[in-house]
């Protein structure tokens, strides 16, 4: 948030920053963190959350983009959904 305040001094017309919840899991703790982000930052949190997945580090190690390495993985599909959400924002 401090960085955004510094950037706004140079460019005050920037839209509010948006937050992406990453490395989420299907656990109570992870869900409570995402819920807390949404409670604190409201519509500035994207609806799409990026889940953890073994394909992310594997794609990195293979030096291939995730959508080409594992196009049907949950993280890859989440990134596609996030891109669509950004495009429609």
pLDDT attached to residue 60? 97
Could you tell me if 50 and 21 are in contact, meaning their C-beta atoms sit under 8 angstroms apart? Answer: yes
Domain boundaries, the chain: 16-88
Helix (H, G, I), strand (E, B) or coil at 27: coil
| pLDDT tens digits, 23-40 | 999 999 999 999 999 999
User: 1 pLDDT exceeds 90?
Assistant: no
Specify the pLDDT at position 22: 96
- Taking 3-state DSSP, the helix, strand and coil percentages for the chain, each rounded to the nearest 5, stand at 60, 10, 35
d(CA 80, CA 75): 9
Rounded CA separation 63/28 (Å) = 33
């Amino acid at each position: 948030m401090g960085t955004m305040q510094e950037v706004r001094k140079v460019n005050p017309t920037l839209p509010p920053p948006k937050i992406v919840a990453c490395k989420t899991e299907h656990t109570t703790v992870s869900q409570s963190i995402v819920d807390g982000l949404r409670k604190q930052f409201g519509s500035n949190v994207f609806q799409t959350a990026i889940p953890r997945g073994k394909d992310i580090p594997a794609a990195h190690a293979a030096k291939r983009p995730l959508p080409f390495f594992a196009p049907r993985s949950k993280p890859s599909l989440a990134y596609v959904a996030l891109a669509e959400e950004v495009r429609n924002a």
